[in-house]
Amino acid sequence: MKASEAVMLSINQARKNQADLVETGLVASRQAANRKVREGRWSVDDLITVAKWTGGKVLYQTPDGEQYELK
């Protein structure tokens, strides 16, 4: 799954919309939110911010199956 797909899934499950990304401080306008989702430019910090905002979390899984939450 691409990062933007995961972000949109999280936003939809939280009953928000992508224009509401302005609330997170990641973007300054609704247009910028739409562009960010469309272009798929997400840093790990961006993904963590979106996850916290939607009530989710970002995990890193090692080859042996251990998982670590990124904060």
Instruction: List the chain domain ranges.
Output: 3-70
pTM, entire model: 0.90
- The pLDDT value recorded for residue 67 is 98
How far is it, in rounded angstroms, from Cα 51 to Cα 33? 15
pLDDT of residue 24: 95
* DSSP reduced 3-state for 13: helix
For the CA atoms of the chain, what is the radius of gyration?
12
Q: What pLDDT band is residue 70 in, cutting at 50, 70 and 90?
A: very high
Supply the pLDDT for residue 11: 96
Cβ atoms of residues 47 and 3 within 8 Å: yes
**pLDDT given at position 42:** 96
Using a pLDDT cut of 70, give the percent of the chain over it: 100
The overall average pLDDT reported for the chain is 96
